[in-house]
């Protein structure tokens, strides 16, 4: 009986290994960004999203000057490095709040202060995002900004505001207004 179970287990492991080998080089890393697709493969048409990478990649379509490109690159660098600090501040504030909540001897005032510190850190992040958005608008001309909005509109119309999966669900239910 034990020999039979051992033989069945060995055969099962062998079959499982051969099945896994037939699937090729699939790893969990391939399940990012729509199962390993690149940014350009995900969209039917070239578009300009929120990312400065997209704007810089399509600088010819937007007719960006060299000066604008340089300003965008510098602004992106400063914003990105600042975001690292702001996210770290939020993470620290969350950890401190968690520590105080777990401490039975923590005063009510110290917990309230930690909550305020977390809210301030989150507000600083949002303020920086808004300032960044307004700064890039000031770099682009009105014509360039309108062109960028058109690219976004095309993208949203192709995929729906919520993405292709949600759009398909609504279409199957007879609603195409989404």
Whether this model's pTM surpasses 0.75: no
User: Does the pLDDT at position 90 exceed 90?
Assistant: yes
With cut-offs at 50, 70 and 90, classify the pLDDT of residue 30: very low
Closest by Cα among 129, 170, 158 to 46 = 158
């Amino acid at each position: 009986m034990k020999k039979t179970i051992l033989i069945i287990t060995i055969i099962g492991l062998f079959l499982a290994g051969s099945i896994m080998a037939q699937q090729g080089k699939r790893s969990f890393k391939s399940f990012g960004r729509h199962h390993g697709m690149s940014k350009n493969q995900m969209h039917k048409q070239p578009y300009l999203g929120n990312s400065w990478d997209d704007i810089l990649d399509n600088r010819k379509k937007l007719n960006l000057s060299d000066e604008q490109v340089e300003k965008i690159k510098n602004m992106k660098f400063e914003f990105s490095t600042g975001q690292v600090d702001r996210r770290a501040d939020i993470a620290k504030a969350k950890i401190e709040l968690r520590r105080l909540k777990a401490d039975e001897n923590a005063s009510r005032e110290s917990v309230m202060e930690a909550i305020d510190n977390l809210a301030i850190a989150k507000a600083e992040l949002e303020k920086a995002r808004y300032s960044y958005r307004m700064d890039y608008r000031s770099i682009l001309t009105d014509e360039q900004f309108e062109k960028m909005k058109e690219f976004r509109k095309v993208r949203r119309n192709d995929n729906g505001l919520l993405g292709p999966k949600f759009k398909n669900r609504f279409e199957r239910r007879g609603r195409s207004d989404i």
